Amino acid sequence: MIAGIEVNLSLILNIIRTIIDLLLVWYILYLGISMFKQNMRTMQLFKGVLIILLIKLVTSVLGLSTMSYLVDTVLTWGIIAVIVIFQPEIRSLLEKMGQTKRDYHMERLSNDQKEHLLDEIVDSVTKLSETQTGALITFERGQSLIDYINTGTKINADIKSELFNTIFWEGTPLHDGAVIIKDDRVVCAAAFFPPTQKDLSPIYGARHRAAIGISEITDSLTVVVSEETGTISFAIKGELIKIPRKELRASLVNELGWFKSEDEEGDEDE
């Protein structure tokens, strides 16, 4: 009787272990595939690895020992090369897996203070758009942008409409590159982003490529203003979304998530 219970218990434990195992593998595959889908570089890598694995299979089945040795060598050195070349993507994936950051800093600000910050940003982006001044403004969200902040010139200033309009004025040395905002601070200007490798319409040049590029490898939000047309776009998760001027404020509120809904406030009070 006791032996029977022990067998059943170990069977149940085995089933639970298998389910946990499968769920973990599924989660890692899901993260990997969503990263591959977002980024053209990783998509190309994925195809390359598939081709090499296919060649490895064929050479093993046909017993082509020299070819098999060559493929093994490519795989061994390839892994090292992939780690070096795709360091930003691998880091982004690991950061996503361990992401627990809550926006403590923004939570300390009152709604009035946040409204004021939004007013400054909306006022500035609207003016940049009206005057057709090219601009790239990136908001750090869950994942750190420290690597990209380090490529620019540190500022650590308040968010002010005049500041953005001055920075992006063509006569200033800082106008080339992106401004990065972390919480309620403008942390740097003239930051450089790795441009996307995606096929894009020829109407988009280096600025839009940079905006999409940073959104492929981080969860940041980038606001781009086109110098040629004054069009405002958001770059999010590898996609470019045009934002009509009238909808800029509402779209920023939606994407930045600075204001909690009443439901969320209620949940925290309980």
Ligand X SMILES: Nc1ncnc2c1ncn2[C@@H]1O[C@H](COP(=O)(O)OP(=O)(O)OP(=O)(O)O)[C@@H](O)[C@H]1O
Q: Using CB under 6 A, which of the segments 66-74, 86-94, 123-131, 170-178 binds ligand X?
A: 170-178
Angstrom distance (rounded) from CA 214 to CA 112: 30
Q: Which residue lies nearer to ligand X by CB, 88 or 177?
A: 177
Angstrom distance (rounded) from CA 186 to CA 196: 24
Q: By CB under 6 A, name the one of 139, 204, 234, 258 that touches ligand X.
A: 204
Half-sphere exposure of 69 (CA within 13 A, CB side): 2
Q: Which residue lies nearer to ligand X by CB, 63 or 244?
A: 244
Q: Does 205 bind ligand X (CB under 6 A)?
A: yes
- Encoded tokens for 127: 């003016």
Q: Which residue lies nearer to ligand X by CB, 136 or 252?
A: 136
Q: By CB under 6 A, name the one of 126, 226, 233, 251 that touches ligand X.
A: 226
Q: Does 259 bind ligand X (CB under 6 A)?
A: no
Question: How long a stretch of residues is the chain?
Answer: 270
Q: Does 177 bind ligand X (CB under 6 A)?
A: yes
Q: By CB under 6 A, name the one of 95, 176, 183, 255 that touches ligand X.
A: 176
Half-sphere exposure of 267 (CA within 13 A, CB side): 5
Angstrom distance (rounded) from CA 178 to CA 213: 12
Beta strand 239-242 with 232-236 is antiparallel
Instruction: Say if CB 240 and CB 219 are below 8 A apart.
Output: no
Query: In angstroms, how far is the first alpha carbon of the chain from the final one?
Result: 48
CB of 225 to ligand X, least distance (A): 7
Q: Which residue lies nearer to ligand X by CB, 49 or 200?
A: 200
For helices 87-97 and 2-38, angle between their N-to-C axes, nearest 10 degrees: 140
Q: Does 193 bind ligand X (CB under 6 A)?
A: yes
Q: Does 217 bind ligand X (CB under 6 A)?
A: no
Q: By CB under 6 A, name the one of 125, 137, 210, 223 that touches ligand X.
A: 210
Q: Does 232 bind ligand X (CB under 6 A)?
A: no
Q: What mask, x for binding ligand X by CB under 6 A, covers residues 134 to 153? A: x-x-----------------
Instruction: Say if CB 39 and CB 239 are below 8 A apart.
Output: no
Q: Is 107 strand, coil or helix?
A: helix
User: Which positions touch ligand X (CB under 6 A)?
Assistant: 134, 136, 176-178, 192-193, 195, 204-208, 210, 226-228
